[in-house]
Amino acid sequence: MHFKTPRLSMLDLVPVREGGTVRQALDIAVQTAQKAEALGFARYWLAEHHNMPGIASSATAVLIGHIAGQTTRIRVGSGGIMLPNHPPLVVAEAFGTLAELYPGRIDLGLGRAPGTDGATMRALRRDRVETEEDFPRDVAELQRLLGPADPNARISATPGSDTHIPIWLLGSSLYSAQLAAMKGLPYAFASHFAPRFLHQAIGLYRQLFRPSAVLDKPYVMVGVPVVAAPTDAEAQ
């Protein structure tokens, strides 16, 4: 039996180290992305979190642009943008701008959790009340805004329209696995904090997958925690 070697990618929360500063964390993220690119990694993704003193990746789209500008080949994207926090048009314009600046190198991973606590969630969303139906509707709207230009559309994204940025659905439960399968989108599972659902989610995604204009067969990425150090003893 032949097994294809998986492509490696990296997810960065841009941690602020103890005794360090936010600027130092941002500089380390650039250095890490450059090293990942030199090692042949396929992607470098950044996660959206808010109101966490130890994490400096809250302005995710801004940081993606900074990282992409300091690298040359590696794909840079979001793992992910927490869609309930943002109107689809704002996301489409931000990532459309990134795609025009760095063509063929930007990924848009989408999550349906707020990525923060309740008070911060209310500060981000203001008066917006999210329902379960909103996430698939917002994903569909983003697909439209980033897809072919429609001269008859009342609302279009400029930049954004015709960029066809790859959209990934992220999840740590079975919900996004089913939605990604029905939409024929690539799927990334967060087994670094929900390992018990990993095999069930991937199995469900592959079982229910419907080919689409962007993907003819299931495509899965799995998030796993890694501790790296020069020696095994130091890593331990």
User: How high is the mean pLDDT in each 10-residue block of the chain (236 residues)?
Assistant: 79 95 98 97 95 94 98 97 92 98 98 72 66 86 96 94 97 93 97 88 97 96 90 94
Closest CA to 219 of 199, 201, 205, 208: 205
The pTM score is: 0.91
pLDDT of residue 136: 95
H or E element in which residue 80 lies: strand 75-82
Euclidean distance between CA atoms 97 and 123, whole angstroms: 25
Quick: pLDDT tens for 90-100. Answer: 999 999 999 99
- Do β-strands 106-111 and 167-171 pair in parallel, antiparallel, or remain unpaired? parallel
Give ∠ CA 138-187-193 in degrees, rounded to 5: 100
pLDDT of residue 228: 84
CA distance readout (Å), 101 to 60, 65, 69, 72, 109: 16, 8, 9, 12, 18
Quick: pLDDT tens for 162-203. Answer: 999 999 999 988 999 999 999 999 999 998 888 889 999 999
pLDDT of residue 227: 86
H or E element in which residue 42 lies: none
pLDDT of residue 125: 67
Query: What b/e sequence results for 178-194 when a residue is b if at least 16 CB atoms lie within 10 Å of its CB, and e otherwise?
Result: bbbbebbbbbbbbbeee
**Cβ neighbours of residue 131 under 8 Å, at least 6 residues apart?**
none
**Domains in the chain: ranges and CATH:** 7-165 (3.20.20.30), 169-236 (no CATH)
Quick: pLDDT tens for 147-167. Answer: 999 988 999 999 999 999 999
DSSP 15: B
